[in-house]
Amino acid sequence: MQQLIDPLTLAATRDLAWLSRHIAEGMLLGVQHSQRRGAGVEFQQYRSYEPGDSIRNIDWKLYARSDRYYVREADQESQMHVCIVLDTSASMQQPSFTYPALRKLQYAKCWIATLCWLLYRQGDRFSLLALNDAGIRRVPEGQGESHHRRIALELEQLEAHGHWPDESRLAAVWQYFEQPCQVVLVSDFFEQHEGAAQSAFAARLHAANRPCLPLQILVEAEETFPFTGELKILDPEGSGIRELGARQQRQEYLRAFAAAQSRLRARFAARECPLTTSTVETPVEQSLRAFIGAHGRIG
């Protein structure tokens, strides 16, 4: 299996389509080599050929190695539409303190593009919605390798600014969820009222029977507050600059952060869609495995 992509490689790579395919194929290789059904990422499942199965679903390469017929279940059975919703508000521009060249949005782009390649290999359809209060960027649903490249190119052009859109701006979005789909919501959930706007968005999808699976992207320092000395804190979404002493504020910050995270998790848990949290310092493939493991499978 390939080695995990380190954050510096992720920060330096500009060809998102290539990088995401490279990461995803390494993940799939690990699944195919696993002895346990369902281990790792559930995108390439095999079972023995049975009378009535279409020969188009037989894996002929596997037959050549094993002299037995196996059917790719994912190719045969999966026909789901997965809509990936990306928060592109200003807080997603936050860089890692360990790897300053790597920002939340950049990490999210690679994570999404890698998921799309896995969905392509699974045979699913996928689409993209990128949201902030300046407008909506959308790639309609499609499937296949060319559609993956289309989404990767769109992701490369996205920038983070502004806020999560209010209800009036979201009014134009609901038409995209009229048909059955599964939604993956990618955000740091750093908005006023601790991500309440994004969780309200997820609640409306849940009420419409559109499962919404949330991924929270943070930088490690937001979880650990490893600072000393005097700090100037800039809120990119509106409250200006605050000065504080790091040592005196650390315990207060960690308590407030833990409480906010607990409330955010509770809002999603109430809808049976557990919140998965990842830092940008975590390899993308490791984050994806944890996300898929939390939900059984995507698509």
Give how far Cα 56 sits from Cα of 47, 210, 259, Å: 14, 32, 53
- The residue that leads in pLDDT, 16 or 12, is 16
Mean pLDDT, rounded, for 105-118: 96
The pLDDT score that the predictor gives to residue 52 is 61
Indicate if the pLDDT at residue 27 is higher than 70: yes
The pLDDT score that the predictor gives to residue 237 is 59
Indicate if the pLDDT at residue 161 is higher than 90: yes
Using pLDDT thresholds of 50, 70 and 90, give the confidence band for residue 298.
confident
Cβ pair 111, 213 in contact under 8 A: no
The pLDDT score that the predictor gives to residue 43 is 41
Q: Give the CA angle between residues 111, 212, 276 to the nearest 5°.
A: 50
Please tell me the least confidently modeled range out of 81-85, 273-277, 295-299: 295-299
pLDDT digits (tens, 9 = 90+) for 170-187: 999 999 999 999 999 999
Mean pLDDT, rounded, for 142-153: 95
Q: What is the CATH number of domain 78-295?
A: 3.40.50.410
- Which residues contact residue 180 at a Cβ distance below 8 angstroms, ignoring those fewer than 6 apart? 81, 209, 210
The pLDDT score that the predictor gives to residue 253 is 85
How many helices, marked H, and strands, marked E, lie in the chain?
Answer: 11, 10
Domain extents for the chain?
7-36+44-76, 78-295
Using pLDDT thresholds of 50, 70 and 90, give the confidence band for residue 282.
very high
The C-alpha atoms of residue 89 and residue 82 are separated, in whole angstroms, by 22
| Closest to 114 measured CA to CA, from 199, 22, 39 | 22
pLDDT digits (tens, 9 = 90+) for 40-74: 334 455 667 766 666 667 777 777 777 777 776 55
How far is C-alpha 250 from the chain's CA centre? 29
Reported pTM? 0.81
The C-alpha atoms of residue 138 and residue 126 are separated, in whole angstroms, by 11
Using pLDDT thresholds of 50, 70 and 90, give the confidence band for residue 36.
very low
Mean pLDDT, rounded, for 16-26: 92
Q: Where are the alpha helices (DSSP H) in the chain?
A: 7-12, 16-32, 60-66, 73-77, 104-122, 145-157, 167-170, 196-207, 220-224, 246-269, 284-295
Indicate if the pLDDT at residue 37 is higher than 60: no
The pLDDT score that the predictor gives to residue 45 is 58
The pLDDT score that the predictor gives to residue 252 is 85
The C-alpha atoms of residue 74 and residue 59 are separated, in whole angstroms, by 12
The pLDDT score that the predictor gives to residue 2 is 43
The C-alpha atoms of residue 143 and residue 120 are separated, in whole angstroms, by 6
